[in-house]
Amino acid sequence: MTAEIIDGKAVAARIRAGLTERVAELVARGLRPGLAVVLAGDDPASQVYVRNKTNACAEIGFRTFDHRLPATVTEAELLALVDRLNREPDVDGILIQMPLPAGLDGRRVLLAIDPDKDVDGIHPDNLGRLLMGQPRFVACTPLGIMRLLDEAKTPLVGADAVVIGRSNLVGKPVAALLMLADATVTICHSRTCDLAERVGRADIVVAAVGRAEMVKGAWIKSGATVIDVGINRRADGKLIGDVEFVPAALRARAITPVPGGVGPMTIAMLLGNTLIAAARRASLGHPRVV
């Protein structure tokens, strides 16, 4: 293999160590950041994600407020909880684990979150600010992707970047961040023609599709940087990405593995956003988190 393997696990560990120090400084000043995590229903994957997030919070010294609700929770009950958390002084960040149980309108619930506590960066106000070039809270996975591109010393100004996927959580915000960093961005999706050709011209490829190895190694331009966001479980239980890793790594200059690439960065960035929210709410400015 020729590519540098971008070790997201190591970068995330470094960020978390730095954040632990920042948290200790805030605690010494009488401020312990707090994250409220809301999980409705009993989706097993969501339970794992929530556990990982609350454990990570506890590890670096945050307070966590765990709200587990039955799948039968009504939208009115959920909205009332969000309203309470918005007003709760000890809660700096609110995270609503998606997807919500069937019958609940996720968009209405997201809209109810105070944008100043939206550490997931998914409130339309925060996504809109990002598009206007004035980001406040940016979604955690896109932030982590940018950090990994930086880690791999990827030139961004004037680079041709192809983002595959246009979700509000990953594709759109990462495309906006790349554009803010002066890359020329093409957003591809399920109706894009000539995907292979577009990928073949890209200096940076961000694959956020959710289809195992759909980006072929042979498509990758020699010397490109490849960020694989996809998490797909094979029949034998192994996790694999959206990119054919081995052939892509033979052509790329740098590539993220799955697992151990983007995944660990998402939680590190959530911690960073929560710290920023706490410092902002206490009028302590915008702390350095990475």
190 in contact with ligand NDP (CB under 6 A): yes
Give the C-alpha separation, 224 to 183, whole Å.
Answer: 14
Give the C-alpha separation, 275 to 180, whole Å.
Answer: 23
Span of 51-59, 112-120, 206-214, 273-281 interacting with ligand NDP by CB under 6 A: 206-214
Query: Which of residues 225, 266, 273, 274 is near ligand NDP by CB under 6 A?
Result: 266
The H-or-E segment that residue 225 falls in is: strand 225-228
229 in contact with ligand NDP (CB under 6 A): yes
Span of 53-61, 76-84, 185-193, 218-226 interacting with ligand NDP by CB under 6 A: 185-193
Active site residue 216: no
CB 165 within 8 A of CB 208: yes
188 in contact with ligand NDP (CB under 6 A): yes
Give the C-alpha separation, 223 to 32, whole Å.
Answer: 44
Token pair recorded at residue 270 = 């959530």
Radius of gyration of the chain (CA): 19
Active site residue 97: yes
Span of 14-22, 33-41, 126-134, 229-237 interacting with ligand NDP by CB under 6 A: 229-237
Query: Which of residues 106, 135, 210, 287 is near ligand NDP by CB under 6 A?
Result: 210
Number of Cβ within 10 Å of residue 8's Cβ equals 26
Whichever of 116 and 213 has its CB closer to ligand NDP, that residue is: 213
209 in contact with ligand NDP (CB under 6 A): yes
String marking each residue 141-170 x if it binds ligand NDP according to CB under 6 A: x----------------------xxxx-xx
Is the preceding omega at residue 259 within 30 degrees of 0, hence cis?
yes
Give the C-alpha separation, 132 to 81, whole Å.
Answer: 31
Task: Please give the C-alpha separations between residue 166 and each of 107, 188, 209, in angstroms, as whole numbers.
Answer: 17, 7, 9
The footprint of ligand NDP on this chain (CB under 6 A) covers a number of residues equal to 26
Applying CB under 6 A, which residues contact ligand NDP?
A: 141, 164-167, 169-171, 188-192, 195, 208-211, 214, 229-232, 262-263, 266
Enumerate the active-site residues: 53, 97, 120
